[in-house]
């Protein structure tokens, strides 16, 4: 099985993870690396490791950037975006069964003139999807968190919580909830405390009820009080109203092993759940667990 892999930002830890795990990944699938071999050779030299044998490299449509560890550059941003597009297109064309993305740097994309803040937003637009159809989920087999809003400013979250849009999100997410119930978090402290601390929970409650009515069963419960929602509930799935609300508890508990999934797409895409880690770039300190799990998940989904 062929799996396309985009390299992320060449100034971060992505190339270290790619190079050091080629042998293990090759036992799971045939990886198609969306990168020039010359860039991998340079990275291997800087890391003082041997270049793996039998690399299948597909050059993206971009100029090879100079490797500048821990630097934010438009060249690395442009190349990481081109690598991502290459992996996506290989999958759309059926030349790969799935694709896995290594971490990009959002500011580098911005400097390169890329009009997206991340992979998920790019996929929504490039695949002509509505805002709430491509669902960002992070997690591990023990805990999955779906993000109702993901990469938007915190001040924009309250106005985004509308009954119809949240109901639609819940209905799109429901097929992926394999163990019910799924907890839906409130937005405000104490889930609004009956309107004393905010009224967004009224819309959340209505959306939950309408989604369950449509599904004809209780898939979703809530709104749960955010600061205690993960304590003693033994739930496997949650829906968070905004990025940090869901990812702080997840990454505190399962940072190394968790992965990023984009659900409800016409293609299979998984990713590491961490960033470029510039603070340890090219220091041979990167942890590969999330990457290995992301590839395993991509292979598993492709076989279903």
pLDDT, one tens digit per residue, over 264-274 is: 899 999 999 99
When comparing pLDDT for 77 and 193, which is higher? 77
What pLDDT sits at residue 234? Answer: 80
Cα end-to-end distance, the chain, whole Å: 13
What residues have CB less than 8 Å from 151, skipping those under 6 apart?
A: 106, 117, 118, 120, 121, 243
Map residue 77 onto helix, strand or coil: helix
pLDDT digits (tens, 9 = 90+) for 93-119: 999 999 999 999 999 999 999 999 999
Cβ–Cβ < 8 Å for 193, 226: no
Helix runs in the chain, H state only: 14-20, 22-26, 37-47, 74-92, 106-111, 119-126, 157-160, 163-173, 200-215, 243-254, 289-303
pLDDT at residue 251 is higher than 70 = yes
Would you state the pLDDT for residue 129? 67
Confidence at residue 192, expressed as pLDDT on a 0 to 100 scale: 85
Give the pLDDT band of residue 79 (cuts 50, 70, 90): very high
* d(C-alpha 52, C-alpha 17), whole Å: 12
pLDDT of residue 132: 46
pLDDT, average across residues 151-171: 95
**Which residues are CB-contacts of 245 (< 8 A; sequence separation ≥ 6)?**
185, 226
Is the pLDDT at 275 greater than 80? The verdict is: yes
Q: What is the pLDDT of residues 201-226, one digit of tens each?
A: 999 999 999 999 999 999 999 999 99
Reported pTM: 0.87
Q: Considering only CA atoms, which of 243, 232, 237 is closest in space to residue 221?
A: 237
What pLDDT is attached to residue 272? Answer: 95
């Amino acid at each position: 099985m062929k799996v396309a892999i985009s390299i992320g930002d060449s100034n971060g830890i992505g190339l270290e993870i790619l190079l050091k795990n080629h042998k293990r990944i090759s036992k799971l699938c045939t990886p198609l690396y969306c990168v020039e071999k010359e860039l991998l050779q340079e990275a291997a030299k800087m890391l003082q490791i041997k270049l793996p044998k039998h690399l299948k490299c597909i050059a993206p449509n971009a100029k090879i950037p100079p490797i500048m560890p821990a630097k934010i550059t438009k060249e690395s941003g442009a190349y990481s975006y081109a690598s991502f597009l290459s992996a996506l297109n290989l999958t759309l064309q059926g030349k790969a069964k799935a694709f896995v993305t290594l971490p990009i740097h959002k500011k580098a994309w911005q400097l390169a003139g890329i009009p997206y803040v991340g992979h998920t937003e790019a996929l929504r637009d490039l695949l002509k999807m509505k805002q709430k159809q491509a669902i960002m989920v992070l997690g591990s087999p023990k805990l999955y968190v779906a993000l109702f809003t993901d990469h938007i400013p915190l001040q924009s979250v309250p106005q985004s919580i509308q009954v119809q849009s949240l109901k639609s999100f819940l209905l799109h997410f429901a097929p992926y909830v394999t163990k019910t119930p799924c907890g839906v978090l409130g937005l405000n402290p104490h889930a609004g405390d009956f309107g004393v601390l905010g009224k967004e929970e009224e819309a959340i409650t209505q959306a939950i009820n309408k989604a369950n009515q449509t599904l004809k069963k209780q898939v979703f419960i809530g709104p749960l009080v955010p600061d205690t929602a993960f304590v003693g509930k033994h739930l496997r799935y949650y829906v968070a109203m905004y990025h940090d609300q869901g990812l702080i508890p997840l990454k505190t508990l399962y940072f190394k092993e968790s992965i990023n999934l984009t659900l409800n797409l016409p293609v299979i895409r998984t990713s590491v759940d961490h960033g470029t880690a510039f603070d340890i770039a090219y220091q041979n300190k990167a942890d590969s667990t999330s990457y290995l799990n992301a590839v395993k998940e991509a292979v598993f989904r492709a076989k279903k």
